[in-house]
Structure 1
Amino acid sequence: MKSFRTTLLSQVRSRIDRKRNAVVLRQDFRDLGQYDQVGRCLLRLVKEGRLIKIGQGIYVRAAVSPLDEQPALPKSLNSLAVEAMQKMGIPTGPTAAERDYNEGKSTQVPTGRTIGVCKRVRRHIGYNGYTMKFEHVT
């Protein structure tokens, strides 16, 4: 009788398929293998079009674009970045511009490219030339 041995790539694929949220962190696979091995598997899934890399160690499950059938983000970059911050344990909140707009103090609509965070963030999150900025809020 042959023993069934799953590869690391198949284990990573099945774990991504079981996850509900769109954001996948590299540290989610820490128990499956070494850092470099997991990185190679994630890079392969990016090349296959199943994942999109939006930051160092931050990946998003790709959706198929109805226009050109290429991998695309399933949600806005802002919502994915907020989801990634929350998954990393960094609390988020509204920026000063969002608060002013919601309170009626300003008619300037916030761009949505700034995320209010309660801790220092030294990450770059972006996709296709658009990057998110972080603003310290209390």
Structure 2
Amino acid sequence: MSRYSLKDKMVRSIALRKGEVVMRADFERMGSPSQISRVLKELIADGKIVRLGYGTYAKARPSTISGKPVPRVSLADLALEALEKLDVPVKLGRAQRAYAEGRTTQIPVRTTFDTGHRRITRKITVGISTVRYENNYNARA
């Protein structure tokens, strides 16, 4: 029998990961689905992680303003990392590309990614901010 509880193992696994995004699938070999769900809920309550979307979590830190747990990096960085882990090829949306290339001085308000010919329904959210997707998919073609 192991000396460490499942929660201890998952906390250690999260701490040793290089990226900021943690997927539920990363823990499936550690225990049963119900055990993993229980521990993930405990980690969210403890402020160790925050939920981004279905099966997607991010490492957290306490907010300097409210003290509530918030992700350690921006929503754009988290979404990019999460979509890369899901093997979804993405690039910045039109507004972000225009700003990054210096074609405009208007700072994009929304986090938007271009998914090419791929349609994405996964919702990635932090607080009230949600990632939006652009694609060149033509439904009539």
TM-score, normalised relative to structure 2: 0.83
Alignment of 1:121-136 (within 5 A): 121-136=120-135
Compared with structure 1, are the counterparts of its residues 20 and 36 closer, same or farther at alpha carbon in structure 2 (3 Å cutoff)? same
The aligned counterpart of 1:16 is: 14
Deviation of residue 112 (structure 1)? Answer: 4.0
Q: Give the length in aligned residue pairs.
A: 136
In the superposition, relative to structure 1, how do residues 65 and 103 fare at CA in structure 2: closer, same or farther (>3 Å)? closer
Unaligned runs of 5+ in 2: none
Give the 3 Å change call, closer, same or farther, for CA 136–49 of structure 1 in structure 2.
Answer: same
Output the aligned Cα RMSD. 2.1
Contact conserved, 2:92 with 2:112, CA < 8 A, in 1? no
Q: Structure 1 unaligned runs (5+)?
A: none
C-alpha contact 1:23 1:84 (8 A) present in aligned 2: yes
C-alpha displacement of 1:35: 2.0
Q: Secondary structure at the match of 1:62?
A: strand
Q: CA distance change for structure 1 residues 83 and 71 in 2, over 3 Å: closer, same or farther?
A: same
- Distance in structure 1 (CA, Å) of the matches to 2:62 and 2:104: 38
Q: TM-score, normalised by structure 1?
A: 0.85
Deviations 1:83-118 (A, max 9, x none): 111111111112222334445554543224212224
